[in-house]
Amino acid sequence: MLKDLVKSLKPSSTLAINETSRKLEEQGRKIFKFGFGQSPFKVPVDVVEELKTNAHQNQYLPMQGLSKLRDAVAKYTSSKKNLNYKSENVIIGPGSKELMFLLHIIFDGEIILPAPSWVSYAPQAILGRNKVKILQTKAENNWFPTAKEIEEFIIKDKHKNYLLFINSPNNPSGQICENLEEIAEVANKYNLIILSDEIYSELSFERNYKSISDYCPNKTIISTGLSKWCGAGGWRLGYFIVPDSLNKIKDMINVLASETFSAVSAPIQYAAIKAYENDHSDYINESRKILKAVGNYVYENLKSNKILINKPQGGFYMMPEFLNKKFNSSAEMCDDILNKTGVALLPGSDFGFDQNRMLARLSFTDFDGKKFMEEIEDNTKIDDTLIYELAPKIVEGVDKLKKWSESI
């Protein structure tokens, strides 16, 4: 009844941990939701109002997306990257995840994934019947591969087509890729296309965010959307920006879109125009300021001789490594943490690491983002006292996790 291809797959671990946490809470357990990554902030008011205004829109929209929205996205992106994208370069999809899946289906070649990588890249590649090469990385390189490591793999069969996924700021590590120019040089030498997953780019803690598209725009597909910076994960609107040099890819994605999702919800697309046309810099700056402060709190209070951890540089994740030999796998360790402390984490093995490495992804979003935003002003210094008050579950969860690490 079922194809062998799908029998080995399991539900997305990020969605599964959210469901597990919810069920445990229904049973009366106090759960610290450090496993599921979702923006803690509300959608900007003007974007919500625009959705209400356009709730009556019930027609099918163009397959590639509403023209005015694609134009707004192209102008918004061009202004940030000093590049000249046009509306024709933009594909609107029901979340960037769906567009990535279509890319996996049409791409004929080998997929290169750094470990760690977002949990859905590899399963999608498998469903697309592509070979996957996992490149192991090191903490001292911000958990990204070096250009040399990428080239050494490609040069073994340089006539193949390759698709490299770069996600910066990264899920699960919270780190920024700092060797983009060198990786771009490799892309320009070989048949290497890059999918630049920039869903957390607006939440980079450094203002001068760099994209690999700055160095090899003709080889880079940009993927992003509303879910992280706009707090609209449940709205399911993402997009690709595909350069003219990769028009064949864009055209085939549109063909597959016509046979799958047809078009993104009309009211959502009309509302999204406001997200990209209006100035939301204050909202983004406040989000970034809060996440940076909360992330730094978690980092400063977790790092120890029992826990190795990189300071987060963007987004809302970090990836602690627990120095213990008690468990057979990171999944077993995370189960023990959840059972004994109520802290929900995801094991490093879900992100491409060997199961014997005691790594876990931690999401520091278990707080009321709306209340946090209302309580601070531009000149407010977010110190520990404010975090105790406005992010109490972060404080308590980190304390429980630290004590657990000291007890084993």
Which residue pairs, CB below 8 angstroms and at least 24 apart, start in 133-139?
Answer: 134/352, 136/353, 139/308, 139/310, 139/321
Residue 36 structure tokens: 């599921």
**Domain end call among 258, 277, 296:** 277
If asked whether residues 118 and 14 sit together in one domain, one would say no
If asked whether residues 383 and 236 sit together in one domain, one would say no
Sheet holding 90-93, edge to edge: 90-93, 238-241, 220-225, 192-197, 162-167, 110-115, 131-136
The single-letter code of the amino acid at 236 is R
If asked whether residues 235 and 285 sit together in one domain, one would say no
CB neighbours (10 Å) of residue 128? Answer: 19
Residue 253 domain boundaries = 45-277
Summarised one tens digit per residue, pLDDT across range 317-344 is 999 999 988 999 999 999 999 999 999 9
If asked whether residues 68 and 32 sit together in one domain, one would say no
**Domain end call among 217, 248, 277:** 277
If asked whether residues 143 and 103 sit together in one domain, one would say yes
| Residue-level pLDDT at 9 | 75
Task: Classify residue 394 as exposed, middle or buried by CB count within 10 Å of its CB (0-12, 13-18, 19+).
Answer: buried
Asked if residue 362 lies in contact with residue 319, where contact means CB atoms within 8 angstroms, the answer is yes
Return the CATH number at 362. Answer: 3.90.1150.10
- Structurally, the chain folds into a number of domains equal to 2
If asked whether residues 249 and 385 sit together in one domain, one would say no
Kindly give the pairing relationship between strand 162-167 and strand 110-115.
Answer: parallel
Return the CATH number at 208. Answer: 3.40.640.10
If asked whether residues 188 and 323 sit together in one domain, one would say no
If asked whether residues 33 and 53 sit together in one domain, one would say no
DSSP string of 150-177, one letter each residue? HHHHHGGGTTS-EEEEEESS-TTT-PPP
Q: Cα-flanking dihedrals φ and ψ of residue 322, to 5°?
A: -95, 125
Strand partners for 365: none
If asked whether residues 185 and 207 sit together in one domain, one would say yes
Asked if residue 127 lies in contact with residue 133, where contact means CB atoms within 8 angstroms, the answer is no
**Domain end call among 233, 262, 277:** 277
If asked whether residues 225 and 198 sit together in one domain, one would say yes
Strand partners for 162: 110, 192
Look up the pTM and report it.
0.94
| Residue-level pLDDT at 280 | 96
DSSP state, 328? S
E strand or H helix at 269, and its extent? helix 266-277
Percent composition of the chain: helix, strand, coil (DSSP 3-state, to 5): 50, 15, 40
DSSP state, 305? S
Summarised one tens digit per residue, pLDDT across range 123-150 is 999 999 899 999 999 999 999 999 999 9
Radius of gyration of the chain (CA): 21
Q: What is the mean pLDDT of each run of 10 residues along the chain (408 residues)?
A: 75 78 89 92 97 96 96 95 92 96 95 94 91 92 95 91 96 96 96 97 91 96 96 94 97 94 95 97 95 98 94 96 91 94 95 94 97 88 95 97 93
How far, in Å, are 190, 196, 330, 343 from residue 360 at the CA level?
A: 34, 24, 7, 12
If asked whether residues 31 and 76 sit together in one domain, one would say no
If asked whether residues 186 and 53 sit together in one domain, one would say yes
